[in-house]
């Protein structure tokens, strides 16, 4: 890397004033400022609605503050070499690829989806990195190439929403780790307790380590704080590395301590769902950040003070433009300008072509009328709490009925769930991202491999489109699941909802079309399909579903 990015020796002279920056550099600064505003507007709803990203509100301020500090930090500038241009071109090419990918994801997931925001943030970070190489060149001298400038760019990645699949896996891992270690601590303290997944049963209470208590919030926030402190409170490389390395373990340890305290309080009869829960949450964030800051200050206490150069004119510093100044300036600034213009064009193209269709469809069906309200021998229970999922699913057309009976001293249960999206209301993969694969494990159901032969189902007397079949276990309770996703009156192939590659395949097949209405059908039971497929209840259900394309 040292051969690719050749640094001049640290110079006491500061960077040139922005008012005297070359014209191309000023254009690039304006482009980046526009992307900065657009990204903040895109991420703002995620910062507002996701408590794990609440630190994102300060990211724009810290970004500008770190850039200001970087201009006052070590004055290291880059020589315009073939290696430097190759690194910059690679970063720009990757940035444009991510912009294209984000547009395709938006076509299938909508612009508000967390994966779209994550990919666009990655594109912005790559574009900032390529721009830094140009601004830190000895021909531009707008901002030096130092750690503070690098951290100013990196904090954006910690302010973007985590892709759903990665978030789910990380959350589940943290939940189970915290629960298991709290249980061990309780046993060491002589307190009787047992664990069921992420739930701890005490003699007097039951405590669940929910998503908000998994520690993701403190983990991300503390890594964010560690990066910031490494750029502002310490100067030596080993001290910076130590602060960053301590951030994650310290956050996990403090969250474990919080969960243990709440469990002990619950064991003594305290109500931990309100004040105690919130108070300990804020305390963990504050104490962890304070500890990181204290460690950083202690590490830097004996370091000699560094000079703080200020921006001056070329004449005052005696700066001499290197040979080929104009050529090297254009070689490093022009690619950023071109990439910025292409980014604007791509963004306009995708925004215009991913707007929901204005075509009006027929009125939504009465989903409860589709589900049989009674059937001989079956007790029928209608779910009345599905409204809590309308914001997540982006539809109000939801219905679910559960049918139960006792036969041969065995409980038989069949649950049928329907969700409907009118044409133009939701892209295909927004619906595909809310399958049992993505949602059920978060509520304690463990997926179990199912033999291929067990996934094939049929109905007496007529063909039936083959569904996706799954088997989940919760303790010793099995739940067989079959589901269909219908788009514009026809079943579509199911894709792994947490796989970015699978979502891109959906985008390539369905493009920007939002013109088809969609129906999601899920049948689940504690019995295999052959044991109830001949029931009149099932025949009646699928007869009513046949007009929808099933």
Report pLDDT digits (tens) over 186-237: 888 888 888 776 678 887 777 766 654 556 778 888 889 999 999 999 888 9
Whether 140 has a pLDDT exceeding 60, the answer reads yes
- How far, in Å, CA of 377 to CA of 344, rounded? 63
Is 98 within 8 Å of 120 (Cβ atoms)? yes
- How far, in Å, CA of 545 to CA of 526, rounded? 22
pLDDT at 174: 81
- How far, in Å, CA of 542 to CA of 462, rounded? 10
pLDDT at 13: 60
Angle at 438 between CA 413 and CA 489, to 5 degrees: 75
Most confident of 44-58, 117-131, 135-149, 216-230: 117-131
- How far, in Å, CA of 142 to CA of 390, rounded? 49
- How far, in Å, CA of 229 to CA of 345, rounded? 37
Helix (H) or strand (E) holding 66: helix 59-72
DSSP conformational letter for 483: E
Is 109 within 8 Å of 101 (Cβ atoms)? no
Pick from 86-95, 216-225, 283-292, 318-327: least confident? 318-327
Greatest C-alpha distance within the chain: 96
Is 471 within 8 Å of 447 (Cβ atoms)? yes
Quick one: what percent of the chain has pLDDT higher than 70?
81
E strands in 197-290:
199-202, 206-208
pLDDT at 2: 46
Q: What are phi and psi of 483, to 5 degrees?
A: -145, 150
- Higher pLDDT residue, 2 or 129? 129
- Higher pLDDT residue, 124 or 177? 124
Quickly count: other Cβ atoms within 10 Å of residue 318's Cβ: 8
Pick from 285-289, 373-377, 384-388, 499-503: least confident? 499-503
pLDDT per residue over 3-29, tens digit each? Answer: 555 555 444 466 888 888 888 889 999
DSSP secondary structure, 319-335, as one string: --PPTTHHHHHHHHHHH
User: 362 burial class (0-12, 13-18, 19+ CB within 10 angstroms)?
Assistant: exposed
State the helix-helix crossing angle for 59-72 and 216-232, rounded to 10 degrees.
20
Closest by CA to 121, choosing from 44, 232, 8, 50, is 44
Q: How far apart are the first and last CA of the chain?
A: 58
What is the average per-residue pLDDT within 30-39?
95
Locate 45 and state its tokens: 């709803």
Q: How far is CA 509 from the centre of its chain?
A: 24
Is 117 within 8 Å of 59 (Cβ atoms)? no
pLDDT at 109: 66
- Higher pLDDT residue, 262 or 315? 262
Closest by CA to 477, choosing from 445, 454, 449, is 445
pLDDT at 69: 92
Report CA-CA distances (Å) from 111 to 39, 350, 356, 470. 12, 10, 11, 30
Closest by CA to 263, choosing from 202, 315, 210, 306, is 202
- How far, in Å, CA of 165 to CA of 150, rounded? 28
Q: What are phi and psi of 321, to 5 degrees?
A: -65, 135
Pick from 8-12, 266-270, 360-364, 500-504: least confident? 8-12
Q: What is the pTM of this model?
A: 0.67
What is the average per-residue pLDDT within 182-189?
86
pLDDT per residue over 440-458, tens digit each? Answer: 776 667 888 877 766 678 7
Pick from 274-288, 351-365, 409-423: least confident? 351-365
DSSP-based three-state secondary structure for 406: strand
- How far, in Å, CA of 399 to CA of 367, rounded? 6
Whether 243 has a pLDDT exceeding 50, the answer reads yes
Neighbouring residues of 307: CB distance < 8 A, sequence distance ≥ 6? 12
Q: How far is CA 202 from the centre of its chain?
A: 34
Is 170 within 8 Å of 139 (Cβ atoms)? no
pLDDT at 362: 65
E strands in 96-175:
none
Locate 192 and state its tokens: 């009787």
What is the average per-residue pLDDT within 83-110?
88
Whether 43 has a pLDDT exceeding 90, the answer reads yes
Is 144 within 8 Å of 546 (Cβ atoms)? no
Neighbouring residues of 146: CB distance < 8 A, sequence distance ≥ 6? 70, 73, 74, 76
Quick one: what percent of the chain has pLDDT higher than 90?
27
DSSP conformational letter for 241: H
Locate 534 and state its tokens: 């001949």
113: left (phi over 0), alpha (psi -120 to 50) or beta: beta
- How far, in Å, CA of 374 to CA of 259, rounded? 46
Confidence band, pLDDT 50/70/90 cuts, at residue 358: very low
pLDDT at 374: 86
Is 272 within 8 Å of 266 (Cβ atoms)? yes
Q: What is the mean pLDDT of the chain?
A: 81
pLDDT at 129: 95
* Tokens 């079309």 belong to residue: 513
- How far, in Å, CA of 540 to CA of 306, rounded? 80
Beginning with the edge strand found earlier in the chain, give each strand of the sheet holding 206-208 in spatial order: 193-196, 199-202, 206-208
């Amino acid at each position: 890397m040292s051969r690719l990015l050749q640094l001049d020796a640290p110079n006491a002279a500061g960077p040139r004033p922005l008012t005297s920056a070359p014209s191309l550099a000023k254009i690039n600064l304006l482009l980046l400022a526009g992307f900065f505003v657009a990204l903040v507007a895109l991420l703002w709803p995620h910062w507002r609605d996701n408590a794990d990203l609440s630190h994102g509100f300060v990211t724009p301020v810290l970004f500008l503050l770190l850039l200001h500090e970087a201009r006052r930090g070590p004055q290291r500038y880059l020589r315009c070499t073939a290696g430097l241009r190759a690194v910059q071109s690679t970063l720009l090419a990757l940035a444009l690829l991510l912009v294209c990918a984000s547009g395709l994801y938006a076509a299938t997931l909508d612009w508000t989806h967390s994966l779209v925001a994550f990919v666009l943030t990655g594109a912005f970070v790559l574009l900032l990195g390529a721009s830094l190489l140009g601004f830190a060149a000895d021909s531009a001298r707008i901002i030096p190439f130092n750690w503070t400038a690098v951290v100013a760019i990196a904090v954006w990645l910690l302010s973007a929403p985590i892709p759903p699949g990665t978030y789910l896996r990380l959350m589940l891992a943290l939940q189970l780790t915290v629960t298991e270690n709290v249980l061990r601590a309780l046993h060491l303290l002589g307190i009787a307790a047992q664990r069921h997944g992420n739930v701890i049963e005490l003699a007097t209470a039951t405590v669940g380590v929910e998503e908000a208590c998994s520690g993701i919030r403190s983990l991300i926030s503390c890594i964010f704080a560690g990066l910031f402190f490494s750029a502002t409170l310490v100067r030596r490389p080993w001290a910076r590395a130590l602060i960053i390395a301590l951030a994650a373990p310290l956050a996990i340890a403090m969250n474990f301590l919080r969960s243990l305290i709440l469990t002990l309080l619950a064991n003594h009869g305290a109500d931990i769902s309100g004040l105690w829960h919130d108070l300990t949450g804020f305390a963990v964030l504050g104490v962890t950040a304070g500890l990181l800051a204290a460690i950083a200050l202690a590490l830097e206490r004996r370091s000699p003070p560094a000079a703080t150069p200020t921006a001056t004119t070329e004449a005052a510093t005696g700066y001499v433009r290197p040979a080929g100044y104009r050529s090297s300036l254009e070689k490093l600034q022009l690619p950023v300008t071109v990439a910025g213009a292409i980014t604007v064009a791509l963004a306009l193209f995708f925004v215009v072509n991913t707007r929901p269709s204005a075509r009006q469809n027929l009125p939504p069906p009465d989903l409860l009328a589709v589900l049989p309200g009674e059937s001989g021998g079956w007790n029928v229970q209608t779910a009345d709490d599905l409204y809590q999922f309308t914001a997540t699913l982006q539809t109000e057309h939801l219905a679910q009925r559960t049918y139960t009976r006792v036969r041969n001293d065995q409980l038989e249960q069949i649950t049928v769930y329907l969700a409907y999206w009118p044409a133009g209301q939701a892209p295909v993969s927004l619906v595909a991202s809310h399958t049992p694969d993505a949602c059920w494990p978060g509520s304690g159901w463990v997926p179990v491999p199912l033999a291929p032969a067990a996934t094939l189902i049929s109905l007496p007397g007529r063909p039936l489109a083959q569904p996706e079949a799954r088997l989940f276990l919760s303790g010793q309770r099995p739940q067989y699941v079959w589901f269909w996703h219908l788009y514009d009156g026809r079943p579509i192939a199911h894709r792994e909802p947490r796989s970015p590659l699978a979502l891109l395949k959906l985008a390539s097949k369905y493009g920007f079309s939002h013109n088809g209405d969609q129906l999601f059908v899920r049948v689940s039971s504690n019995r295999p399909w052959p044991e109830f497929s001949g029931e009149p209840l099932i025949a009646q259900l699928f007869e009513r579903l046949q007009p929808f394309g099933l």
